[in-house]
Amino acid sequence: MRVGFVLAIDQGTTGSTALVLDARGAVRGRGYAELPQHFPRPGWVEHDGDEIWRSVVMAIRRALAKARVPAHRLAAIGITNQRETTLIWERASGRPLARAIVWQDRRTTDACAALAKRGLEREVRRRTGLRLDPYFSATKLTWLLRHHPEIALLARRGRAAFGTMDSWLLWRLTGGAVHATDPTNASRTLLYHIGRRTWDEWLLDLFGVPAALLPSVLPSSGRFGVTHAVPGLPDGIPIAGVAGDQQAALFGQGCVRRGQSKNTYGTGCFLLLNTGDRPRASRAGLLTTLACGPRGEPAYALEGSIFIAGAALQWLRDGLGLLETAAESETLARQVPDAGGVVLVPAFVGLGAPYWRPGVRGALLGLTRGTRRAHVARAALESLAFQTRDVIEAMARDAGQRIRTLRVDGGAAANDFLMQYQADLLGMPVERPRVLETTALGAGLLAGLGVGFWASHQDLAGARRVGRVFRPRHGRSWREGEYRRWNDAVAVLLATGKA
């Protein structure tokens, strides 16, 4: 049996997780550290780069302590990360030059609309597979350069570095020796040509981004560099796997062949369908993005991106005080037979796929004097399932095939009420694995493959075993009636909301 362990780092929107995996892919230790959120203005979401790094160091320390594994026994490190979030730092010192602009941030909505008005949407989509939406990195990067002249000057002189969070962590883990990313993260920037798989000069010119800012793009599975001067870790551990969180989850679920799909219920909700070695353009409001094949090589996927999923439960907890914990939502939802006519459309940062309406805002509809917090909690959970059905239907139209089983993962997938409601609303089985943290599992597997710790993705088939299958309990008339409530609510919002 192979000797040693693999460390998987999952740097997420609300916190950082580290897992220590043994040779069978079993989780020997888990560490987590919450990440502060900064909301300087309505629609703005920021992270502090140094706070991200401290949360990762803390998560690693806690995972190793829980696993009782000495750090020198780590064979490799894998990184997965919140995508699109944009940071610029000084090359000489590693000092962040401004707060990171998070993927949820909407400050560049008007800039995206102006580009679309110039008729650039089609060409941008042809090159990137993406839409002109503030979700992606390029307009965030443009905003930083335009609003911080001192950063723009350093960028032009080659003294600043841009990265999504994988690049930032690679830089810190290697003591500033490596400025790199992988194709899955590069494909989320609006600066990368997914057909040629290179940074695109036309896009760099369009968004005013100096090429000197950009990281190198290296394979998702392979040696990126080695650790240097990392608190709690010895020098010389290979960092050998990198992928954006949703592509890592797709890989971790074993969806490495054409036609395989998964849905991750996290802060947002993301459904990906592996489409093989050729990109497939979407006609139904989805994205075309890069993913990973069986050995971590580039593959393509269709993606439906839902901006607010588990974050809706956090809003009930932190914003309205209706919940003490997000897990309490399940207990409350079971206290009522239905949502009492209440529908939550959680467009707090606009609507993503398949609508792509960044200017609309959320709505809680159908309130009466009889509405209780249990109805609102149930409506919040139902909103995750409704949005997922929107994307499933769009994906079936694009792929020309029906998805017959939904594989799920992510924190909110632990909610039995939500998973059963999802199966009922879709009229198909929902398969939940024993290990829900397939995002980190995917990053660890890519790293292990990169150093030969595992021979193939099939070595972790046991770690991906199904834990429970939720089967539909209602017929077609019930699920269509439920879905009609959602469609009616979205129609009201789109009719009254800002485009």
- Taking the C-alpha atoms of residue 445 and residue 465, their distance in angstroms, rounded to an integer, is 15
Specify the amino acid at residue 285.
G
* Domain assignment of residue 29, yes or no: yes
In 3D space, the residue among 81, 63, 70, 50 whose CA is nearest the CA of residue 440 turns out to be 81
Binding annotation: 13-14, 83-84, 135, 245-246, 267, 310, 314, 411, 415
- Taking the C-alpha atoms of residue 26 and residue 401, their distance in angstroms, rounded to an integer, is 34
Residue 424 CA: distances (Å) to CA of 339, 340, 452, 470, 491: 15, 18, 42, 9, 23
406-409 and 261-265 strand pairing? parallel
Instruction: Give the mean model confidence (pLDDT) for residues 171-194.
Output: 97
CB 123 within 8 A of CB 207: no
CB 190 within 8 A of CB 124: yes
Instruction: Give the mean model confidence (pLDDT) for residues 279-303.
Output: 90
Q: What is the model's pLDDT at position 462? A: 64
| pLDDT over threshold 50, residue 4 | yes
Looking at the DSSP bridge assignments, the partners of residue 430 are 406, 470
In 3D space, the residue among 193, 11, 194, 177 whose CA is nearest the CA of residue 87 turns out to be 11
List the beta strands (DSSP E) in 12-141: 15-21, 27-34, 46-47, 74-81, 87-90, 100-101
Whether pTM exceeds 0.85 = yes
Before 183, cis peptide (omega within 30)? no
Binding annotation for ATP: 13-14, 267, 310, 314, 411
Please give the span between the terminal C-alpha atoms of the chain, in angstroms, as a whole number: 58
- pLDDT tens digits along 54-109: 999 999 999 999 999 999 999 999 999 999 999 999 999 999 999 999 998 999 99
In 3D space, the residue among 226, 187, 219 whose CA is nearest the CA of residue 203 turns out to be 187
- Taking the C-alpha atoms of residue 183 and residue 197, their distance in angstroms, rounded to an integer, is 7
Burial bucket for residue 234 (CB in 10 Å: 0-12, 13-18, 19+): middle
* Domain assignment of residue 229, yes or no: yes
Specify the amino acid at residue 490.
V
* Domain assignment of residue 146, yes or no: yes
Q: What is the model's pLDDT at position 3? A: 66
- Taking the C-alpha atoms of residue 135 and residue 107, their distance in angstroms, rounded to an integer, is 10
Q: Which residues have CB under 8 Å from 117's CB, separation 6+?
A: none
Binding annotation for sn-glycerol 3-phosphate: 13, 83-84, 135, 245
Written as six digits, the tokens of 342 are 């209440």
| pLDDT over threshold 60, residue 499 | no
Side-chain-facing half-sphere of 442: CA atoms under 13 Å: 33
* Domain assignment of residue 468, yes or no: no
Q: What is the model's pLDDT at position 108? A: 95
Give me the domain span that covers residue 174. Answer: 5-120+137-246
Q: What is the model's pLDDT at position 466? A: 79
Binding annotation for ADP: 13, 267, 310, 411, 415
* Domain assignment of residue 464, yes or no: no
In 3D space, the residue among 114, 120, 82 whose CA is nearest the CA of residue 101 turns out to be 82
CB 33 within 8 A of CB 15: yes
- pLDDT tens digits along 422-458: 999 999 999 998 887 888 999 999 999 999 998 877 7
* Domain assignment of residue 475, yes or no: no
* Domain assignment of residue 43, yes or no: yes
- pLDDT tens digits along 307-350: 888 889 989 998 889 888 888 899 999 999 999 999 999 998 88
* Phi, psi (degrees; rounded to nearest 5) at 36: -65, 140
| pLDDT over threshold 90, residue 280 | no
Q: What is the model's pLDDT at position 353? A: 84
* Domain assignment of residue 351, yes or no: no
Confidence of residue 463 (pLDDT cuts 50, 70, 90): low
In which order are the strands placed within the sheet that holds 466-470? 287-292, 298-306, 269-276, 261-265, 406-409, 430-433, 466-470
| CATH number of residue 229's parent domain | 3.30.420.40
Q: What is the model's pLDDT at position 449? A: 93
Confidence of residue 1 (pLDDT cuts 50, 70, 90): very low
Instruction: Give the chain's domain count.
Output: 1
CB 366 within 8 A of CB 340: yes
Binding annotation for glycerol: 83-84, 135, 245-246
| pLDDT over threshold 50, residue 389 | yes
Q: What is the model's pLDDT at position 10? A: 95
Q: What is the model's pLDDT at position 253? A: 87
| pLDDT over threshold 90, residue 398 | no
Q: Which residues have CB under 8 Å from 364's CB, separation 6+?
A: 342, 343, 344, 345, 376, 379
Instruction: Give the mean model confidence (pLDDT) for residues 257-286.
Output: 87
Q: Is 346 helix (H, G, I), strand (E, B) or coil?
A: coil
In 3D space, the residue among 272, 282, 288 whose CA is nearest the CA of residue 439 turns out to be 272
Q: What is the model's pLDDT at position 232? A: 93
Specify the amino acid at residue 398.
D
In 3D space, the residue among 217, 275, 273, 282 whose CA is nearest the CA of residue 250 turns out to be 273
Task: Tell me the percentage of the chain whose pLDDT exceeds 70.
Answer: 98
- Secondary structure letter of residue 368 according to DSSP: -
